[in-house]
Structure 1
Amino acid sequence: MDLDAYSARAQRGPCFVCAFLAGDPAFAHETVFEDEEHVAFLDRWPTVPGKVLVAPKAHVEHVVRDLEEAAYLRLMRVVRAVALAVERVFTPERTYLLSLGSQSGNAHVHWHIAGLPGGIPYERQQFHALMTEHGVLEYTTRQRGTMAARLRQELAETL
């Protein structure tokens, strides 16, 4: 992963969620869930196995104040369902849920669902485990497809 290129695109490029939803191949991701309001997809640069992003389809920039309570609760229902699917498929020691991004880059609201594998030393857990600066996991297209299919199957039974 080229962190400088990523940062530049996040700050000056189009909204990555909106570009993905519009079908821009430069922003393609492997979808694991989609309904009328939400989308969940594999992180392009995962730092832990099965890292998934969940976002509302509408371009919303503030995770709390831009969503009516009912819309927020529907989004959180999807986040929870995806997190449970990640737990069933990847059996992490702990599941991290974070809403990252800012007005400076990646402004579209999205939740990161990251399952921490067991056996990771404490000093490499938490934020360290999520930072691309420490490396990303490389998967083939086939491996990503298999992961996505397993998560879709789990989600089909939940949502």
Structure 2
Amino acid sequence: MMHADDCVFCQIIRGRLPASYAYADEEVVAFMDLRPLTPGHLLVVPREHASGLMDLDEAGGLHVWLVAHRLARALRHTKLRCEGVNLLVADGAVAGQQVFHAHLHVIPRFEADGVRIGTEAPDGERAALDSAAAAVRAGLRRLAVVESD
């Protein structure tokens, strides 16, 4: 299993730093965020180091998502306040990523919890939305070529 010596999540996974684990299997671990936005705020982290989504293979990403989904459902069966859930990935510094090991936040939400995520955005212009969709489709075609090489 690949780890990065200077990665805080790799150090947690190897037992060099403490964490409050909620889940672990052969591929991922889930532990409580050290700076929780709300009680029960979890991080789902692949055991193998991947700096971001570009480094995380699709099977690994799918497993992270499946575990996060299960944990989000489980939160609703706890005594923690959980009227809703945010699943959040910050990929890259400009997206707010602070620990450069891919991970998915599972954040329980409740009325008046004080958490604000994102900003209000105006409706997009249809031409701009169509253009962005075309760019994504082109990116998927290029990705398929890269992955087949």
**Residues in 2 aligned to 1:22 and 1:30: alpha-carbon distance in whole angstroms:** 14
Instruction: State the distance in 2 between where 1:112 and 1:43 align.
Output: 8
Match of 1:80 in 2: 69
Q: Percent identity?
A: 28
Deviations 1:50-87 (A, max 9, x none): 11110000001222x32332222122111111111122
Corresponding residue to 2:12 among 20, 29, 35: 20
What does residue 34 of structure 1 align with? 24
Q: How many residues align?
A: 110
**In structure 1, what is the equivalent of residue 37 of structure 2?**
47
Q: Structure 1 125/44 Cα, relative in aligned 2: closer, same or farther at 3 Å?
A: closer
Largest Rg, 1 or 2: 2
CA contact (8 A) 1:101 1:108 kept: no
Query: Contact between 1:53 and 1:111, CA under 8 Å: does it hold in 2?
Result: yes
Describe the SS at the equivalent of 1:84: helix
1:24-50: CA deviations, max 9, x gaps?
A: 2xx311111111110000112212011
Contact 2:64/2:104 (CA < 8 Å) preserved in 1?
no
Unaligned runs of 5+ residues in structure 2 are 119-149
- Give the Cα separation in 2 of the matches to 1:19 and 1:78: 21
Q: Please name the residue that 1:113 is paired with.
A: 106
* Structure 1 residue runs of 4 or more that deviate by more than 4 Å after TM superposition: none
Contact 2:46/2:60 (<8 A) preserved: no
Contact 1:31/1:41 (<8 A) preserved = yes
Gaps of 5+ in 1: 1-12, 129-159
Q: TM-score, normalised by structure 1?
A: 0.61
Q: CA RMSD in A?
A: 2.3
Question: Which amino acid is 1:31 matched to?
Answer: Y
Q: Which amino acid aligns with 2:85?
A: T
Distance 1:14 1:97 in 2: 26
Identify the residue that residue 66 of structure 1 maps to in structure 2. 55
